[in-house]
């Protein structure tokens, strides 16, 4: 973006990661956490394939043993980034409608998507690839290690597939949203649901498509959130204003729940001195009465991940209400690791005992001095809406 080469931002990131001796691979046999990746560039022809772990003997880094990045929650940023730096992705370009007549590469990818735990994979690359370098970072998905064109990909171990996953994947008359509901009821987590969606294993026959990983993560969070909203909206309202707080990887969250009809407003502040901005910036998206249909262009995928964590908590309380989230992003968050971090930090906040207030103004007065831009909070859409006379006040 700045045009400077070499990039000073990436140089700073590399300096914080553990040093690993790079080497060249033409084939790889290793465990897949399980993990796969579907790219978005070139859509509707996308690069699709499985990921496997390469760990050099002298690295001292343990391989990923779970396909759910949430299992790394609480670990330092250096460890989260380093664990994914050695995840090698192989694949080939194929149309998104390839699910109608699968090929060997897609079959292997789909088998890994269905697996509930680590499975051994063998990858033969068309050209040798360099491993041991710093990963590629993305605000939506986990850090990505090296990738390359693969001539052959094969599961060489036994893939343990949950019965419900196998049943839903083979159901040819079930909408994707309905399938996600059934999987959730069977305690299948959002990480595996995203894999199944991305690998083209959900939906009715003839309409299944490969879904780029980045889009699949948001789609899963959105569908799960809307499913919970259908329940939460019929619960009795909260009778107090509650404030929850949590901090992870220099991301500080303040979450305000209020009585009343559903509304959700999320604000993100990239504080001064953070790696990704030199000046500080506040972005926001919101919805009212019902879940938004237009994509949250300001907050993007973090919006849906945070909303899911809030709705899960409201469902567990059997209470309805409205929510404001303020997220401060500090210089300690020197590389993005994906929206799973947002989802898990919100969940962590909701597990803690909240502070109680009698009014939204009192809650805002408590939170404002604790955030990076108190005036933006006080003048936010959510704070101002509390001053308006609402139709439900006459009921």
pLDDT per position as a tens digit, 180-190: 999 999 999 99
pLDDT number for residue 388: 53
Highest mean pLDDT among 64-68, 163-167, 334-338: 163-167
Q: Does the structure show a pLDDT above 90 at 8? A: no
Q: How confident is the model at residue 393 (pLDDT cuts 50, 70, 90)?
A: very low
Contacts 24+ apart (CB under 8 A), 184-188: 184/224, 184/227, 186/162, 188/162, 188/164
Q: Which of 89, 86, 81, 92 is nearest to 121 (CA)?
A: 89
Q: Does the structure show a pLDDT above 80 at 257? A: yes
Average pLDDT, the chain: 90
pLDDT number for residue 212: 97
- Quote the CA–CA distance of 287 and 68 in Å, as a whole number: 29
388 or 346, which is more confident: 346
- Quote the CA–CA distance of 339 and 329 in Å, as a whole number: 13
pLDDT number for residue 4: 67
Q: Which of 121, 145, 111, 130 is nearest to 30 (CA)?
A: 121
Q: How confident is the model at residue 239 (pLDDT cuts 50, 70, 90)?
A: very high
- Quote the CA–CA distance of 110 and 104 in Å, as a whole number: 10
Q: Which of 96, 106, 99 is nearest to 44 (CA)?
A: 96
pLDDT number for residue 394: 42
User: Whole-angstrom distance between the N-terminal and C-terminal Cα of the chain?
Assistant: 53
Least confident among 86-90, 210-214, 312-316, 386-390 = 386-390
**Using an 8 Å Cβ cutoff, are 113 and 122 in contact?**
no
Q: Does the structure show a pLDDT above 60 at 72? A: yes
Q: How confident is the model at residue 81 (pLDDT cuts 50, 70, 90)?
A: confident
Q: Does the structure show a pLDDT above 90 at 82? A: no
Domain range list for the chain = 15-232, 241-394
pLDDT number for residue 62: 66
261 Cα distance to chain centroid: 27
Instruction: Give Dmax (Cα) for the chain.
Output: 70
pLDDT number for residue 338: 93
pLDDT per position as a tens digit, 130-169: 887 667 887 888 888 889 999 999 999 889 999 999 999 9
Classify burial at 281, counting beta carbons within 10 Å of its beta carbon; exposed 0-12, middle 13-18, buried 19 or more. middle
Place of tokens 């849906």: 304
Domain 241-394 bears CATH identifier 3.30.230: yes
Would you tell me how many other CB atoms lie within 10 Å of the CB of residue 14?
Answer: 15
pLDDT per position as a tens digit, 183-211: 999 999 999 999 999 999 999 989 999 99
For 237, which DSSP code? B
pLDDT number for residue 231: 97
pLDDT number for residue 286: 98
């Amino acid at each position: 973006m700045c045009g400077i080469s070499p990039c000073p931002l990436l140089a700073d990131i590399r300096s914080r990661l553990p040093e690993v001796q790079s080497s060249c691979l033409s084939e790889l046999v290793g465990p897949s956490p399980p993990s796969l990746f579907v790219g978005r560039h070139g859509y509707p022809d996308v690069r699709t394939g499985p990921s496997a772990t390469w760990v050099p003997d002298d690295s001292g880094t343990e391989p990923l043993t779970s396909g759910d990045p949430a299992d790394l929650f609480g670990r330092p940023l250096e460890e989260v980034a380093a664990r994914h730096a050695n995840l090698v992705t192989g694949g080939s370009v194929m149309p998104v409608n390839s699910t109608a007549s699968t090929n060997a590469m897609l079959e292997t990818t789909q088998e890994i998507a269905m697996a509930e735990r680590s499975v051994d994979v063998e990858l033969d690359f068309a050209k040798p690839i360099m491993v041991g370098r710093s990963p590629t970072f993305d605000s939506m998905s986990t850090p990505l290690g090296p990738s390359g064109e693969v001539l052959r990909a094969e599961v060489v171990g036994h893939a343990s597939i949950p019965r419900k996953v196998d049943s839903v994947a083979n159901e040819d008359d079930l909408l994707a949203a309905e399938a996600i509901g059934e999987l959730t009821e069977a305690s299948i987590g959002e990480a595996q649901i995203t894999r199944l969606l991305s690998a083209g294993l959900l939906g009715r026959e003839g309409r299944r498509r490969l879904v780029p990983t980045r889009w699949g993560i948001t789609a899963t969070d959105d569908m799960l959130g809307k499913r919970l909203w259908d329940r939460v909206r019929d619960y009795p309202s909260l009778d107090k204003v509650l404030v929850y707080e949590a901090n992870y990887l220099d991301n500080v969250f303040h979450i305000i729940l209020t009585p009343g009809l559903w509304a959700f407003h999320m604000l993100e502040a990239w504080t001064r001195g953070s790696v990704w901005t030199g000046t500080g910036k506040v972005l926001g998206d919101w919805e009212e009465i019902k879940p938004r249909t237009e994509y949250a262009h300001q907050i993007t995928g973090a919006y849906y991940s945070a909303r899911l964590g809030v709705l899960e908590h409201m469902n567990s309380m059997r209470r309805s209400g409205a929510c404001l989230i303020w997220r401060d992003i500090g210089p300690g968050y020197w590389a993005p690791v994906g929206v799973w971090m947002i989802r898990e930090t919100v969940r962590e906040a909701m597990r803690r005992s909240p502070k109680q207030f009698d009014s939204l103004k009192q809650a805002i007065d408590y939170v404002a001095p604790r955030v990076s831009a108190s005036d933006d909070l006080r003048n936010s859409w959510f704070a101002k809406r509390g001053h308006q006379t609402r139709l439900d006040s006459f009921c």
